[in-house]
Structure 1
Amino acid sequence: MEFVRSPCLSLSSALTSAFLLSASSFAPSSPPRPLVPLPPFRHAFVVNPRPRPNPLFSGSPDDLPSFGDLPGLPKIVDPADRPSLSVDTGGKLAFKQTEEDEEALPINYRRPEVWRDADPLKFPREGVKLITFDAVGTLIRMTTSVGMFYREALNQAFGYVRLPRPDLFTAAFREAHRQQNAAYPCYGKNDGMTGEEWWRTVVRDTYRNMYDLFDDADLVEELESEDGEVFEAVFQQLYNEDFTGEEAWELLPDAYRTLRRLALWREQGGPRIGIVSNSDARLSRILYALGIEEYFDFVLTAEGTGSAKPDGDMFRIALREAQVEDPRLAAHVGNDFGKDCRCAAEAGWHGIWMHEDKFDLPEDVPDALDFSTAGDLVGVLAMYGVAPETREILTTRDIYEDGNYGFHWKVWDDHAYQLEGRDFREWSTNTME
């Protein structure tokens, strides 16, 4: 594994870092900081609130120790003496408490309106047999806009000319995609089409929607020429290159770590892991390129099954794939409330809405709908008592800085550990792979 420092700072940040690091030399001596493997952008690791333990999960070799295990730090509170708290995954510093524990909530704390926790008697956490995920927006996301790729592919095939803004290409794509999906759902699976044929129409209609905005008449002529050389080059670049790998797709924070935890739990008798997505058949190639395909027992797509969410058929197919008879022992995680959470819940599953920064439920949610919410993927792990000790966060500051970026006192609740003059992120990063 290559060991690198984090990316360059702006000039002002670099000068600030230099000043702070120089000032730190007057502090008591400390061990030199080794180079550590870092992601391509600034990440840090902060401590999770301790979730309720899962007796069926024994942890993993790469687990980070608790505060009390950190060398040189006093153990303020023994972990065994902490109250059994169930993490409220829907809010910041939000704990689901019993009435007796309500006084332990932070001052002026108000649980977010979006918070929901499905009945654990109806959907047992420890006995779950299957956990599936949506793909786009839940585990993976695009590196930039669709329009940027369509614009750049055209430039490369035709020669760089003046073209409209990427957002106009994005709008043209969305309209072409909407019309094609309405006419031939599930990538034409049930109409005798292949996914490649389906997408060829979308790409052609996307550019045709832009013809009025092109300044170069020769470009339109080339795209509509009988030999189709320019269009074919553009299509192959988009369909077989850009949108099948790391150029267009990246993992969401904590996606890789979440899947590793679930895979370890599966090895210990935990649930099977699957994908239920409205994507096309190229999804497996994308997951392979991002290094996570091996964690799934199966990958169901709209093109492969001929069904798409919110149709409940995909969830029935998933149960058959996992050989699970009782849907209450299956959970589905997704970022789209209607197509993921509500659809799964109506199919009898434990629907989990990963709401991220949305803190209001849709207006048409039935009162009787039983489902859960999670702020992110670590929140999902916390529901099942298999969350790691830390979570990954994005930062706007370099991870090596001292001064006001270091923290000396971290309180998650009334039962807290104290960090005296130590930066936990520095320690936790050095322990990560």
Structure 2
Amino acid sequence: MIKAAIFDLDGTLLNRDESVEMFINTQYDRLNKLVGHIPREKYVTRFTELDNRGYVWKDKVYQQLVDEFEITDITWEELLQDYICEFKNNCVPFPNLIDMLEELKKRNFRLGIITNGKGQFQIDNIEALGIEKYFDIILISEWEGIKKPDPQIFKRALEQLNVSPNQSIFVGDHPVNDVKAAQNVGMIGIWKKDFQWSTVEADFIINDLVELPLIIDNASKQNVESY
């Protein structure tokens, strides 16, 4: 019987690609007097390339942008601070996020988030999505001192939720850091499809968060049948 559902954040609950696109365009508009000498498309495209879907922290991204585009009227530190302060105002949820969480809460599932990243920054984004109230635990790598795919961060979440691995699912978009890492500690690994990968070894695959309650039903049946 499945008792708990734990989620990744970026690319799973938060549509990070759309959020980044919205943010970098609004940053360009907001700071136009300082970066307007760069064509918008170049600024947006280069930021997105350097960001590498969130796997490069923005200090390096902005240092590179300032150097490449010869930005002199604002420092990379100030651009980074703008990112930290403003990104939360551009958070785009995936479709059906709230409906899915409401449904799982109705069923009395224990819910958690495990996300890599900076503590306050990720909390700000979770609050911006309006979803913090649904979760019993939120583990962020900076504050935990460990990050996915380290099994310890998954075990810590399971302990805090007071559930065993085989009573739990983990939903994420990364085949290694999310799906495989969760499976390695005995959890059911569910892959939220991402265009970057074509084949992923997961227990279940979803395109849309709305599919999750039915997937949990199927996982629970399989769990029962395996005993």
Is the 1:280–1:301 Cα contact (8 Å) retained in structure 2? yes
The answer to whether 1:344 aligns with 2:182 is: yes
Report if the CA contact (8 A) 2:192-2:208 is conserved. yes
Which residue does the alignment assign to 2:37? 161
Matches within 5 A, 1:122-141: 127-141=1-15
Aligned length: 213
Q: Cα gap change, 1:149/1:239 in structure 2, threshold over 3 Å: closer, same or farther?
A: farther
* Pair 1:257 & 2:94 matched: no
Give the alignment partner of residue 171 of structure 2, picking from 333, 336, 345: 333
| Cα drift, residue 301 of structure 1 | 1.0
Q: In structure 2, what residue type is equivalent to 1:346? A: N
Identity over aligned residues, as a percent? 24
Change (3 A) 1:211 1:285: closer
Q: Structure 1 343/160 Cα, relative in aligned 2: closer, same or farther at 3 Å? A: same
**Which segments of 5 or more consecutive residues in structure 2 lack a partner in the other structure?**
219-227
1:379, CA displacement in angstroms?
Answer: 1.9
Change (3 A) 1:276 1:211: closer
Report the equivalent of 2:161.
322
* Amino acid aligned to 1:378: V
Q: Secondary structure at the match of 1:135?
A: coil
Who is 2:225 aligned against?
none
**CA deviation after TM superposition for structure 1 residue 344, in Å:** 0.5
Secondary structure of 1:246's match? Answer: helix
Deviation at 1:232, TM superposition (A): 4.9
Q: Is the 1:332–1:352 Cα contact (8 Å) retained in structure 2?
A: yes
Q: Cα deviation per residue 1:104-152 (whole Å; 9 max; x = unaligned)?
A: xxxxxxxxxxxxxxxxxxxxxxx22211011111111133438825961
Instruction: Indicate the residue corresponding to 1:152 in structure 2.
Output: 28
Displacement of 1:299 in angstroms is: 0.7
Q: Which amino acid aligns with 2:83?
A: L
Counterpart contact for 2:63–2:76, Cα < 8 Å? no
Q: Indicate the SS of the match to 2:89.
A: coil
Q: Deviations over 1:19-48 (max 9, x none)?
A: xxxxxxxxxxxxxxxxxxxxxxxxxxxxxx
Is residue 172–residue 206 contact of structure 1 (8 Å, CA) maintained in 2?
yes
Distance in structure 1 (CA, Å) of the matches to 2:77 and 2:176: 37
CA distance in 2, matches of 1:173, 1:360: 22
Shift, 1:358, TM fit: 7.9
- Structure 1 position 381 matched with structure 2 position 213: yes
SS of aligned partner of 2:100: helix
Separation (CA, whole Å) in 2 of partners of 1:145 and 1:347: 35
Query: 1:160 and 1:356 mapped to 2: Cα distance?
Result: 33
Counterpart in 2 of 1:206? 61
Deviation sequence 1:357-410 (CA, Å, 0-9, x none): 689424xx5xxxx72222321222112349xxxxxxxxxxxxxxxxxxxxxxxx
Q: Partners of 1:298 and 1:144 in 2: how far apart?
A: 26
Residues 11-26 of structure 1 mapped to structure 2, 5 A cutoff:
none
Q: Is the 8 A contact 1:155 1:161 kept in 2?
A: no
Gaps of at least 5 residues in structure 1 are 1-126, 179-198, 224-229, 387-433
SS in structure 2 of the partner of residue 373 of structure 1: strand
- The structure with more helix, counted as a fraction of residues: 2
Q: TM-score, normalization: structure 2?
A: 0.79
| TM-aligned CA deviation for residue 280 of structure 1 | 2.1
